[in-house]
């Protein structure tokens, strides 16, 4: 069985049965003028991981392993956005409002697009999720089951919110999860550090973490 040098110990996976899940690498979170920057966040740390995420995607494609992309996005009528979610933050703009890149976090708007540098291939799955976790109200579980996948590598943003939520959802469903440490980021560096520690605590209570180079070396 192939394995990845990881923490808290090596991560083994069945040959050919590993998928990459790239969480929410979309313009609204990563580009200047998007929702993240409108909220007052420095988006530069998130932008900095784009080349690393691109290398991971290329590695999985070269190994003929599935790459699954997610976008956090809502229907244009916001019928899938709970009022409590829309009311959060107290900022000048919120979900559904018109921002510099179109209506914020609305499926089909320019800001909701995945970054061009990380664009999915036509045959790759894109999950549009109304929540922070990628399993809630989406077909992700059925898709993975259909592929016979039980082991997942995660990348994307933000570490402590959508990435961690999805990993915890996956963990509860029996998936073995690894987070690529340098292919994820938060607007708050301390939150990323804490999340990595929480994931691999107590013998990997949620999963494993490893640098992208270790993941790519195992794929090769």
**Which tens digits make up the pLDDT trace of 43-74?**
999 999 999 999 999 999 999 999 999 999 99
Q: Is 129 designated active site?
A: yes
Q: Which of 24, 28, 113, 182 is catalytic?
A: 24
Q: How far apart are CA 27 and CA 111, in angstroms?
A: 5
The residue among 129, 14, 122, 105 whose CA lies nearest residue 67 is 122
57 sits in which H/E element:
helix 50-62
pLDDT score of 89: 72
Could you say which of 28, 81, 129, 177 is catalytic? 129
Active-site residue flag, 162:
yes
Taking CA atoms, 27 is separated from 73, 121, 150, 155, 186, in Å, by 12, 17, 29, 16, 15
pLDDT of 90 above 80: no
d(Cα 62, Cα 45) in Å, to the nearest integer?
A: 27
Average pLDDT score over the chain: 97
For 132-198, the DSSP string reads: SSSSTTSSHHHHHHHHT--EEEEEEE-IIIIIHHHHHHHHHTT-EEEEEEEEEE-SSHHHHHHHHHH
- Residue 119 DSSP SS3: coil
Percent of the chain whose predicted confidence (pLDDT) is above 70: 100
Q: What is the C-alpha to C-alpha distance for residues 3 and 16, in angstroms, rounded to an integer?
A: 12
Share of residues in the chain with pLDDT > 90 (%)? 94
- Residue 40 β-bridge partners: none
Q: How confident is the model at residue 199 (pLDDT cuts 50, 70, 90)?
A: very high
Dist CA 209 CA 199 (whole Å): 8
Is 23 a residue whose pLDDT tops 80? yes
pLDDT of 154-173, one tens digit each?
A: 999 999 999 999 999 999 99
**32-36, 101-105, 170-174: lowest mean pLDDT where?**
32-36
Per-residue pLDDT at 42 exceeds 90: yes
> Active site residue: 162, 177, 182, 192, which one?
162
Is the preceding peptide bond at 32 cis, omega within 30 degrees of 0? Answer: no
What confidence tier does 88 reach under pLDDT thresholds 50, 70, 90?
confident
Nearest-angstrom CA–CA distance, 163 and 165 = 6
Per-residue model confidence (pLDDT) at position 92: 80
Active-site residue 85, yes or no? no
């Amino acid at each position: 069985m192939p394995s990845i040098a990881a923490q808290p110990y090596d991560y083994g996976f069945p040959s050919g049965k590993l998928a990459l899940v790239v969480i929410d690498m979309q313009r609204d979170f990563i580009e200047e003028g998007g929702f993240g920057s409108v909220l007052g966040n420095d988006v530069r740390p998130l932008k900095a991981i784009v080349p690393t995420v691109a290398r991971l995607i290329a590695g999985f494609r070269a190994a003929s392993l599935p790459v699954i992309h997610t976008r956090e996005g809502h229907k244009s009528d916001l019928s899938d956005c709970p009022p409590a979610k829309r009311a959060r933050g107290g900022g000048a703009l919120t979900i559904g409002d018109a921002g510099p890149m179109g209506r914020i976090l609305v499926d089909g708007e320019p800001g909701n697009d995945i970054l061009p540098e990380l664009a999915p291939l036509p045959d790759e799955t894109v999950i549009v999720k109304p929540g922070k976790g990628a399993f809630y109200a989406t077909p992700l579980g059925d898709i993975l089951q259909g592929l016979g996948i039980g082991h997942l590598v995660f990348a994307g943003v933000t570490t402590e919110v959508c990435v961690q939520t999805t990993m915890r959802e996956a963990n509860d469903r029996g998936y073995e999860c690894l987070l690529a440490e340098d292919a994820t980021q938060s607007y708050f560096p301390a939150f990323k550090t804490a999340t990595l520690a929480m994931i691999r605590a107590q013998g990997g209570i949620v999963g494993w973490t490893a640098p992208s180079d270790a993941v790519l070396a195992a794929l090769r």
